[in-house]
Structure formats: structure tokens, C-alpha cells
């Protein structure tokens, strides 16, 4: 099978869905010129009516998508960097998440939101923060994030065809990661985790760039500790069944999440495992997250971000 | 554009209805028969009626929050029995009793009442974009108050609407008050519509106590927007006779509004002004006016009876959880 990059897989998903459905369009800032590669060149095929650049007006930009979705269209809004979504957070999270439920399930709001996120570029806090935990905290929005090019194409297609708002950021640290991606149409359903590596001693739940880091650690520990790696792929809805099934075998859990330690996705999963799978555990759940400090820029970034060394230490600790 | 006799009759009828709906809501709030709060529209009832009476069903509308959108919605032809049911927590409510005052009538393109003031501005760009793409003459009547123009969102929406020449009418109902704060203090120019100049958008200021003057301006703006001439700004100078919402003090700044202030603004009560006009120009007789009022009271009685006869919505937690996401 051919191999393409993760960002190339996202672009392929966007282009295929726009060809399939006239109501799909893209709105962002400098997406026509391709500020990130996944939008570069779309303007030539789809034109200015469907590839929209807005002023630096995040509320108006998101509102273009929100209002069009209320009108029955299927917009994709690109925030460029994840932190920029917070500029219009009351619209893109609070108002969007409540729309279907609060208004009596009359209308759904099929908006797809995306953005580059994460550490690795030494850009500091507002350009390096993760946003999936924050969006998962607020009800009514599905949240997913790809770890491989294959998942990227399939998750984006599923998100665009879903009738609900979906936030699907992608991590800049694996933007150029290559992998096998079928040329045909397929979807990776939201809410289905993937066992990326089989193992028997410990389960590592990791996503995005940290999933790739966890795979490297598992290879290194091969023959010493048998590591099972689960990729949640989506945080909302979350596939608890796959995780609990894994814990029946391994009885140990490390959650790796490139987000702050306090109030994040890892905390939620740890608590749910205590509530629903306490008897399966032979050791306390261990988390590898970021300490609660703003993400520093420059060369200090490595102090806060999870990395293979921190993941290995956590695995050894929980298996000791 | 001068109004026909039939148009004047429709406007007058909607004005009377809107005013009586507001009085009903006020009474029910005082009686404890309304959930949450109520923001009366007394004194400011004409702009919404003038803006919305001649909209089509497939035109988008964001109603002003004052009067909880009733003046606007009844003028657009929406049956608001389910609105009062919603506001009383009943299962027949337009949002199944889940929303308190966050009503939604998507079939009439009234998509949302937001609890965030000024949160009409962002989605209105999307409504305008959809209208332009479909090119079927649909317009967006985007109503909100002077205070909402403090939101950066308002400026973003005006900017983008003008960039893309979207069919949006920025309809500002300037009653000079946001809760206690006055527009004089919170806005640096006399007219909110001065903002439009910065975006190269045509703007007009109209006497918001005169429903016929408002309608004339609105009709012209709607016609232009339908032709693809882009956005326009209408500012109505209106009044808020009551306190912000029932139960809060009636302050300007931190001091009570004075009896003299009240006396002065109440000289131009919109229903009285319209009544004088239709009698003077012989559009209506006093007997016909009385009949319009009786019919409105009967309509409201039926709306209340519908809401009162409905059951309180008490779905199970499981049912609610199953409705967080759409299928």
C-alpha cells in the first residue's frame, strides 16, 4: 500500500468529502494559501465560495461555520493553532455543545473543528497547548485525535459525516509522520479505540504523538515488560469497554496524555477505571501528563512534555 | 416607501398584540407563573414589530432578548403557544421544557436565543453566508440592543458581512440602557450606527417609537438586501420604560431613574402614538381598534390556556443523557 503523511491524509479526507458533498466547506484564516499543508491547493479545486479566508475574527469565523450548520450545511472550521479556538470559546464550546440538547433535540449542529496542537515546535503556551481535554470537559461535542495517517483520514471522514459537532485537533509533532493509507473511501468510527500493540503486563493508554512515543518505549522494553498500547482515537465518546477488556489481562494502567495534569482527560479516565474496574487493578493507575505550569517556549519545553523516558519510568514504576 | 393601508393595519395589530403579550408575561412573572426571569419590552415594542412583520418564513431572525423575543416572533408569524409552554417548564414547550428562555424555532429560522448577549453576531455571518450561497433572496434580520454592540463579535460580524456583501440587516434597538448602565456612558458617540461608517456600510437612524417609520425603513432595507446589495445598519431610538428585568432596581448608573425621566419618556408610548396616527389618517376607527385589542386578548388567553393545561416536563435522567448527541 502507498504511504503518505498524516497531514496529507487529512488533506485527502477534506478533499474527498468536499467532492462528495456540496454542503461541505472550509473556513479559516489563510487556509487558501495553506498556512498548514492540509489546506494548500484546495482553493484551486473548490474555489473561493467553499474555501473561505476570514479576517482575524475568530468569533465571526467560527460563527460562519455555526450559522451555516444551523442552515443545514456541513462546515469545517480551521483554527490554525488549537489555542486560538479559545478566542471564541463561548460559541465553539458552550453554545455549540448545548445547541442540540437545550433546544429540544430539534436540530443538530454538524460542525467540524480542527487545529494544530501540541509541543515540539518550542512555540510556548498559546501555540503549544492541548485542547482535547477542555473540549471533552464540556458536554455535547465529540472529540477525537489521530495518531496515525490511517486514522487521520478515517477519523476526519467520520467527523465530517457525523451529525454532531466534532473537535478533531492534530498534533504538530506527527504532522509529517508517514504511514499506509488506502486510496479508497473508509471511515474510522468515532468512539472506537484501537489496540495498537498487544501485550500482557501493562496497558498504556496514549494518543497522538504520545502514542508514537509509547510504541517506541514498548519496543525498547520488549522481552522485559510486555506492553499493550491502546489508542483511544476519540475522547468523546470514549471506548471504555476496550480499556477494561485490556485491564482484565494486564491489571495495570498507565495513562499518557499531553495535557495538564489537573482536570484533564487522564484524570477522567483514571477516575472511571477506579469506579468501573477497581477489582481489575493490581497497582494504582499512573498518569504521565504535563505539570500545571504554562507551557514554556524555547528549550524548556522538554521539562513539561511527556516523552519516552517519562513513559518508560511510569511503566517500570507501575510494574515494580 | 409609503405603507399601504393594509400594511398599516397589520403593523398596528402586531403592535397591540406585542404590547399585550408583554403585559401578560409581566403579570405571570409577578404571579410566579413563569420560570426564571422576564425582561419587559414595555416602551420598546415598536422596533421588533416594524422589523419583523414583513419578513418571509425563510428569512432568518434573531429576536432582541427584551420581551424574550415575543414581539419579534409573533410579528414573523410564529405560533408562540409552545414558547409560553417552554417558559413554564412544560413538556409541550418548543424545546421540550429543557431550555427555560433559550427558545428555538428552526422551522422559522429563529435558531437560538442565547444567554450570552451579543451571541447572535457570530452565527448571523453563517446565516448570511448560507443565504448568499443559495441565492434565493433570503435575508437575515439580526436584532439586538445598544449594549450588544459592545461585543467585539458585533464588529467582527459587520466587518465580515461587508467583506462578503451578505444580506444581513444589523438592527439595533437602542433604548439607551443596558441593565443600569447608559449608552451615553458606554458608547462614545450619540449613534451606535456611527460604527457602520467604519465598515463602509449604509446606516439609517429611525424613530423607534413610531412603528410605521421603523417598518418603512425596514422594508427598504429588506428589499435592498434581497437584491444582493449587502448589509445595512438600522438604529432605532427607543425606550425601556421598566427596570431591566423584573426584580432588579430601576437605576441609571447607581441612582434611581427619576419620576421626571419616566414622565418624559412615557410621553411617547408607541401604542398610543400609533393609535393617534391610525385614527387621524382614518386607517382605523375606534371600534375597529377595540376589536383588534379584544382579538389579541383572546389569542393570549388561548396561549396561556395551552401552557397551563400542559404537563410539567420531567423526563428521566437517562432520557436526557440520550439526547446530548444527535443520532
Tell me the nearest-neighbour CA distance from B183 into chain A, angstroms.
24
Contacts of A141 in chain B (CB under 8 A): none
Q: Which residue of A has its CA nearest to B151?
A: A59
Which residue has 375606534 as its cell numbers?
Answer: B286
What is the pLDDT, as a whole number, of residue B1? 59
Contact A105 B326 (CB under 8 A): yes
Q: Which residue of A has its CA nearest to B138?
A: A71
Could you tell me if A245 lies within 8 Å of chain B, comparing CB atoms? no
* Alpha carbon separation from A183 to A4, A43, A196, A234 (Å, rounded): 10, 21, 21, 23
Among B112, B130, B131, the residue with its CB nearest the CB of A103 is B112
Could you tell me if A85 lies within 8 Å of chain B, comparing CB atoms? no
Could you tell me if B113 lies within 8 Å of chain A, comparing CB atoms? no
Could you tell me if A104 lies within 8 Å of chain B, comparing CB atoms? yes
Q: pLDDT (tens digit, 9 = 90+) per residue, B42-90?
A: 999 999 999 999 999 999 999 999 999 999 999 999 989 999 999 999 9
Q: pLDDT (tens digit, 9 = 90+) per residue, B177-188?
A: 999 999 999 999
Tell me the nearest-neighbour CA distance from A139 into chain B, angstroms.
7
- A10 contacts A37 by C-beta, under 8 angstroms: no
Torsion sign over Cα B123, B129, B132, B134: negative
Complete domains list, chain A, with CATH: 3-180 (3.40.50.970), 194-319 (3.40.50.920)
Contacts of A21 in chain B (CB under 8 A): none
- B149 contacts B187 by C-beta, under 8 angstroms: yes
Contact B123 A66 (CB under 8 A): yes
Could you tell me if B252 lies within 8 Å of chain A, comparing CB atoms? no
| CA end-to-end distance (rounded Å), chain A | 41
Q: pLDDT (tens digit, 9 = 90+) per residue, B269-300?
A: 999 999 999 999 999 999 999 999 999 999 99
**CA dist., res. A77 & res. A25, Å (int):** 8
**CA dist., res. B244 & res. B260, Å (int):** 18
- B120 contacts B69 by C-beta, under 8 angstroms: no
Q: Which residue of B has its CA nearest to A139?
A: B324
Contact A60 B116 (CB under 8 A): no
Mutate to test the interface with B, among A50, A67, A77 (most CBs of B within 10 A): A67
Contacts of B96 in chain A (CB under 8 A): 104-105
Grid cell digits, residue B264 = 418624559
* pLDDT per residue as tens, chain A (320 positions): 999 999 999 999 999 999 999 999 999 999 999 999 999 999 999 999 999 999 999 999 999 999 999 999 999 999 999 999 999 999 999 999 999 999 999 999 999 999 999 999 999 999 999 999 999 999 999 999 999 999 999 999 999 999 999 999 999 999 999 999 999 999 999 999 999 999 999 999 999 999 999 999 999 999 999 999 999 999 999 999 999 999 999 999 999 999 999 999 999 999 999 999 999 999 999 999 999 999 999 999 988 999 999 999 999 999 99
Among B96, B119, B124, the residue with its CB nearest the CB of A90 is B119
Contact A67 B128 (CB under 8 A): yes
**CA dist., res. A267 & res. A264, Å (int):** 5
Could you tell me if A140 lies within 8 Å of chain B, comparing CB atoms? yes
Set A38, A100, A127, A132: catalytic member: A127
Q: How far is CA B203 from the centre of its chain?
A: 19
- Give the three-class secondary structure for A206: strand
**CA dist., res. B205 & res. B135, Å (int):** 28
Strands A24-28 and A74-81: parallel
User: Is A127 among the catalytic positions?
Assistant: yes
Q: Which of A252, A255, A271, A273 is CA-nearest to residue A320?
A: A252
Contact B95 A73 (CB under 8 A): no
% chain B with pLDDT above 90: 98
Tell me the nearest-neighbour CA distance from B78 into chain A, angstroms.
16
- A290 contacts A301 by C-beta, under 8 angstroms: no
What count of other Cβ atoms lies within 10 Å of the Cβ of residue B224? 17
Contact B325 A54 (CB under 8 A): no
Q: What is the dihedral of CA B260, B265, B266, B268, to 10 degrees?
A: 140
Q: What is the dihedral of CA B11, B14, B15, B19, to 10 degrees?
A: 180
Could you tell me if A67 lies within 8 Å of chain B, comparing CB atoms? yes
- B81 contacts B303 by C-beta, under 8 angstroms: yes
Complete domains list, chain B, with CATH: 5-319 (3.40.50.970)
Contact B122 A99 (CB under 8 A): no
Contacts of B89 in chain A (CB under 8 A): none
Tell me the nearest-neighbour CA distance from A51 into chain B, angstroms.
12
Q: Which residue of B has its CA nearest to A104?
A: B95
Q: What is the dihedral of CA A65, A66, A68, A73, to 10 degrees?
A: 80
The 8-class DSSP code of residue A78 comes to E
Q: pLDDT (tens digit, 9 = 90+) per residue, B109-167?
A: 999 999 999 999 999 999 999 999 999 999 999 999 999 999 999 999 999 999 999 99
- B83 contacts B103 by C-beta, under 8 angstroms: yes
* Alpha carbon separation from B262 to A63, A147, B36, B48, B252 (Å, rounded): 39, 65, 27, 22, 12
Mean pLDDT for all residues in chain B: 97
Contact B320 A101 (CB under 8 A): yes
Mutate to test the interface with B, among A64, A137, A237 (most CBs of B within 10 A): A64
Tell me the nearest-neighbour CA distance from A158 into chain B, angstroms.
13
Contact A60 B157 (CB under 8 A): yes
| Helix residue ranges, H only, chain A | 6-20, 42-46, 58-70, 89, 96-102, 132-137, 149-161, 208-221, 240-250, 265-277, 301-304, 308-319
What is the pLDDT, as a whole number, of residue A302? 86
Contact B157 A101 (CB under 8 A): no
Torsion sign over Cα B20, B22, B23, B27: positive
Amino acid at each position: 500500500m502507498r504511504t503518505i503523511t498524516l497531514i496529507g491524509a487529512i488533506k485527502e479526507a477534506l478533499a474527498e468529502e468536499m467532492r462528495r458533498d456540496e454542503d461541505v466547506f472550509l473556513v479559516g484564516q489563510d487556509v487558501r494559501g495553506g498556512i498548514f499543508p492540509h489546506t494548500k491547493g484546495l482553493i484551486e479545486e473548490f474555489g473561493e465560495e467553499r474555501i473561505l479566508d476570514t479576517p482575524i475574527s475568530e468569533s465571526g469565523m467560527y460563527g460562519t461555520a455555526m450559522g451555516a450548520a444551523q442552515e443545514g450545511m456541513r462546515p469545517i472550521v480551521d483554527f490554525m493553532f488549537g489555542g486560538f479556538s479559545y478566542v471564541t470559546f463561548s460559541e465553539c464550546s458552550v453554545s455549540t455543545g448545548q445547541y442540540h440538547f437545550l433546544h429540544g433535540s430539534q436540530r443538530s449542529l454538524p460542525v467540524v473543528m480542527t487545529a494544530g496542537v501540541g509541543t515540539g515546535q518550542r512555540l510556548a503556551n498559546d501555540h503549544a497547548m492541548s485542547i482535547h481535554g477542555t473540549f471533552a470537559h464540556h458536554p455535547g461535542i465529540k472529540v477525537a485525535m489521530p495518531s496515525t495517517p490511517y486514522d487521520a483520514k478515517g477519523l476526519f471522514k467520520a467527523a465530517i459525516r457525523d451529525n454532531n459537532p466534532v473537535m478533531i485537533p492534530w498534533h504538530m509533532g506527527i504532522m509529517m509522520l508517514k504511514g499506509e493509507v488506502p486510496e479508497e473511501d473508509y471511515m474510522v468510527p468515532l468512539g472506537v479505540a484501537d489496540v495498537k500493540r498487544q501485550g500482557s503486563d501493562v496497558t498504556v493508554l496514549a494518543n497522538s504523538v504520545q502514542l508514537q512515543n509509547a510504541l517506541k518505549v514498548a519496543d525498547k522494553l520488549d522481552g522485559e515488560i510486555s506492553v499493550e498500547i491502546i489508542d483511544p482515537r476519540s475522547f468523546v465518546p470514549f471506548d471504555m469497554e476496550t480499556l477494561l477488556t485490556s485491564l482484565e489481562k494486564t491489571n495495570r494502567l498507565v495513562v499518557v496524555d499531553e495535557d495538564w495534569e489537573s482536570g484533564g482527560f487522564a484524570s477522567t479516565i483514571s477516575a472511571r477505571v477506579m469506579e468501573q474496574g477497581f477489582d481489575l487493578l493490581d497497582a494504582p493507575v499512573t498518569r504521565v501528563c504535563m505539570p500545571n505550569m504554562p507551557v514554556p517556549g524555547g528549550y524548556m519545553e522538554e521539562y513539561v512534555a511527556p516523552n519516552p523516558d517519562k513513559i518508560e519510568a511510569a511503566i517500570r514504576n507501575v510494574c515494580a | 416607501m409609503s405603507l399601504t393601508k393594509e400594511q398599516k393595519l397589520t403593523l398596528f395589530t402586531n403592535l397591540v398584540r406585542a404590547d399585550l403579550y408583554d403585559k401578560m408575561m409581566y403579570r405571570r412573572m409577578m404571579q410566579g407563573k413563569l420560570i426564571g426571569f422576564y425582561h419587559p419590552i414595555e416602551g420598546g415594542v415598536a422596533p421588533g414589530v416594524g422589523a419583523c412583520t414583513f419578513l418571509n418564513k425563510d428569512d432568518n431572525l434573531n429576536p432582541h432578548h427584551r420581551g424574550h423575543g415575543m414581539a419579534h416572533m409573533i410579528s414573523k408569524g410564529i405560533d408562540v403557544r409552545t414558547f409560553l409552554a417552554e417558559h413554564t417548564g412544560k413538556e409541550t414547550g418548543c424545546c421540550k421544557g429543557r431550555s427555560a428562555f433559550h427558545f428555538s424555532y428552526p422551522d422559522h429560522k429563529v435558531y437560538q436565543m442565547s444567554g450570552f448577549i451579543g451571541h447572535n453576531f457570530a452565527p448571523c455571518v453563517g446565516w448570511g453566508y448560507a443565504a448568499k450561497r443559495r441565492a434565493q433572496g433570503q435575508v437575515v434580520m439580526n436584532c439586538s440592543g445598544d449594549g450588544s454592540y459592545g461585543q467585539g463579535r458585533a464588529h467582527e460580524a459587520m466587518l465580515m458581512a461587508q467583506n462578503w456583501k451578505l444580506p444581513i440587516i444589523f438592527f439595533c434597538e437602542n433604548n439607551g440602557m443596558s441593565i443600569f448602565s447608559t449608552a451615553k456612558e458606554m458608547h462614545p458617540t450619540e449613534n451606535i450606527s456611527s460604527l457602520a461608517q467604519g465598515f463602509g456600510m449604509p446606516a439609517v437612524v429611525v424613530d423607534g417609537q413610531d412603528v410605521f417609520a421603523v417598518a418603512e425603513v425596514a422594508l427598504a432595507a429588506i428589499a435592498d438586501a434581497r437584491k444582493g446589495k449587502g448589509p445595512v445598519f438600522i438604529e432605532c431610538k427607543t425606550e425601556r420604560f421598566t427596570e431591566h428585568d423584573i426584580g432588579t432596581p430601576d437605576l441609571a448608573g447607581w441612582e434611581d431613574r427619576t419620576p421626571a425621566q419616566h414622565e418624559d419618556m412615557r410621553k411617547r408610548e408607541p401604542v398610543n402614538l400609533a393609535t393617534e396616527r391610525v385614527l387621524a389618517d382614518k386607517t382605523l376607527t375606534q371600534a375597529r381598534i377595540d376589536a383588534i385589542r379584544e382579538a389579541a386578548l383572546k389569542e393570549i388567553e388561548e396561549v396561556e390556556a395551552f401552557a397551563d393545561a400542559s404537563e410539567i416536563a420531567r423526563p428521566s435522567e437517562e432520557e436526557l443523557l440520550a439526547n446530548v448527541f444527535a443520532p
